[in-house]
A and B are shown apart, each in its own frame.
Chain A
Amino acid sequence: MLIKKGAEASLFLKDWQGRKVIMKRRLPKKYRLQEIDKKIRTYRTIHESQLLHYAKEAGVPTPTIFMVDLADSNIIMEFVEGKQVKQILGGLSFEERQSLSKHIGELIGHLHFNEIIHGDLTTSNMILTPSGKVVLVDFGLGEKAVELELRGVDLHLMKRAFQSTHFRYAKECFKAVLEGYACVVGERGAKEVLGKIKEIEKRGRYISERRKAEE
């Protein structure tokens, strides 16, 4: 059953060897040459599987991978039971929201500490399981990188996600995220990234922040 159709990949919910699984398929694109298409799809399939694995090594829960099918560019992975953080954040009390945000910050801290960039940190890509674990999904835009710039962009995206979907408590949530982040990477590391975020926001691309920064 198709549960999400993206421009690049589609997610199917399937029964596989008696398990409920997610199959992430990267479908061929007719507009590009087959050679280029195959190369891109294969590369991204391998890359995403690796990142899911690296994240686990870093202590960040991600779906378990059952099979990587390079011939068809499929990843078959665990279906994570739970709710998207996006759906539940609004219904939490202030304290609960704070502690969840802080926990998310810790997870991001673990990723960055281990040189992993998620690439699409939004509250829809975080699943809260019934046991209270937060599982990060969709590393499709992620990469392994050491650059401070990329860590800055990653966290900046998180901030934007809060602002666009959880406007009323964006500020407090992001603050808690940074707190959790600092617990893992250390005060100095957190300060460095925070400085970078400010710099990114001052660039032309993010005009409203630039105005605010100039005021």
Chain B
Amino acid sequence: MTARIGVVTFPGSLDDRDALRAANAVGAQAVSLWHKDPSLHDVDAVVLPGGFSYGDYLRCGAISRFSPVMETVISAARDGLPVLGICNGFQVLCEAHLLPGALTRNSHLHFRCKDQALRIENNRTAWTSGYDLGARVVIPVKNGEGLYVADAHTLDALEAEGRIVARYIEGSPNGSMRDIAGVTNEAGNVVGLMPHPEHAIDPLTGPSADGLAFFTSVLKSLVAA
């Protein structure tokens, strides 16, 4: 019996099929979840994929956060369900207050798609346990609003508690505060990440296979549990 990883499709989700492919690639059972359906269909972990849910017209993630499925995801996450928010999913997690801070317009004001070098800063979360601490990975980043902001007190706390999951290295793609690419909650089950590990699972279609370990990590933690 393998673990079931659910991927939510909101109207305007774009990388949902990629996230499902990544879950399948590591041997999990990928399950498609629908934004209007509050049931999580017995999944063991949830991915909120990239995209422009509801067109991001009000504020990135602001409307999705109120969808029926998110009500369930929010309470399950508080009970320890592993949740990974990628790009737009990260924005949804911030809007849902499962993660601190917010994501705002890139400092250069452009959408930017780039093969980005990252350093894994925390390998104790449900989604990063398969990485070596300090590992350098190359994973695509692609967004217009990926500049992570939080007040100084929050940033200091994140640093002190080791809750910065990944940092941009070799040049920031968006001007994020303290080069933050991803953060986790206190329990380590909820991770938000601007780069797209689901686009780095096979060198045929991405810059590397460095992203695969996000999915193997959660699978391993679930099977072990």
Decide if A and B are genuine partners: no
